Amino acid sequence: MRIFRLLLLLLLTGGLPARLPAQAVIEGRVPLPPARPAPVLNQRYEIVSQGGVVGTNPPLAVVYLEGRFPAPTVPAKAVMTQQNLAFVPSLLPVAVGTRVEFPNLDATYHDVFSYSAPKRFDLGRYRAEEQPVPSQVFDVAGLVTLRCDIHEHMRGLILVLATPHFVVTDAAGRFRLGGLPPGRYVLKAWVDSRTTLERPVELQADTVLRVDFP
């Protein structure tokens, strides 16, 4: 009797393992602006000069699919470190509701803050080993510019997106965005605060769509 019920359940649910929905992939390229020179540190009143240790931020873009997607059931987490007097990664896309941790991996203090409208905060001065690692929840979509109150050259960007489908390009502008549901959407490429490219796309199951932004 028990075996019969189990077979009936399998029939009703379509059998095991459950079939995953067919997914699409977009790959392509985004033209990136020329690289900026490495920052010059203000060390006028420092005891020790740190000539070549500064991290650099090559220009990158964020490619994301805009549309209506179900909200994630579990809030996401992400990490942006301070290392070699730079934010790593320098550009971090996150979905709305993501908690971002800011561990300090340098031997000196940092004071991360943002005055951007989507998220205004100031973490204060934290030691590297201090627990818990300071974090913030980014619950409003938009661009958040991070700075350090101690090291004026430091810049980091968090792009808060109302979509779970996004990817950062490599330094050549190449990207591959997978696991996408079929349908009609708008594919966007955020290049900088003034430039967001977009292209309407129609995704079909089990296909790879090539999109090169102009």
User: Rounded to an integer, what distance in angstroms lies between the CA atom of residue 22 and that of residue 182?
Assistant: 8
Phi, psi of 9 (to 5 degrees): -65, -40
User: Rounded to an integer, what distance in angstroms lies between the CA atom of residue 143 and that of residue 107?
Assistant: 29
State the binding string over 192-211 for another protein (x if CB under 8 A, else -): -xx-----------------
Q: For residue 164, what are the CA distances in angstroms to 31, 61, 66, 80, 113?
A: 23, 16, 9, 18, 25
Q: Which stretch binds another protein (CB under 8 A): 1-9, 42-50, 171-179, 183-191?
A: 42-50
Q: Which of residues 165-194 bind another protein (CB under 8 A)?
A: 193-194
> Which residue from 31, 72, 75, 124 is in contact with another protein, where contact means CB under 8 A?
124
- Nearest CA to 38 among 90, 93, 82? 90
Q: Kindly report the CA angle at 14 between 8 and 20, in degrees rounded to 5?
A: 150
Closest distance between another protein and the C-beta of residue 106, in Å?
10
Using only C-alpha atoms, the chain has a radius of gyration, in whole angstroms, of 22
User: Rounded to an integer, what distance in angstroms lies between the CA atom of residue 211 and that of residue 208?
Assistant: 10
Between residues 16 and 47, which has the closer beta carbon with respect to another protein?
47
Between residues 87 and 185, which has the closer beta carbon with respect to another protein?
87
> Which residue from 64, 87, 102, 126 is in contact with another protein, where contact means CB under 8 A?
126
Looking at the DSSP bridge assignments, the partners of residue 131 are none
Q: Is 142 in the site for another protein (CB under 8 A)?
A: no
Q: Is 135 in the site for another protein (CB under 8 A)?
A: no
Between residues 99 and 155, which has the closer beta carbon with respect to another protein?
155
Between residues 137 and 167, which has the closer beta carbon with respect to another protein?
137
3-state SS, residue 158: strand
The amino acid at 44 = R
DSSP letter for 168, please: E
Closest distance between another protein and the C-beta of residue 160, in Å?
17
Between residues 28 and 103, which has the closer beta carbon with respect to another protein?
103
Closest distance between another protein and the C-beta of residue 129, in Å?
9
Give the footprint of another protein on this chain (CB under 8 A). 36-45, 47-53, 107-109, 113-115, 120-122, 124-128, 145, 147, 152-153, 155, 193-194
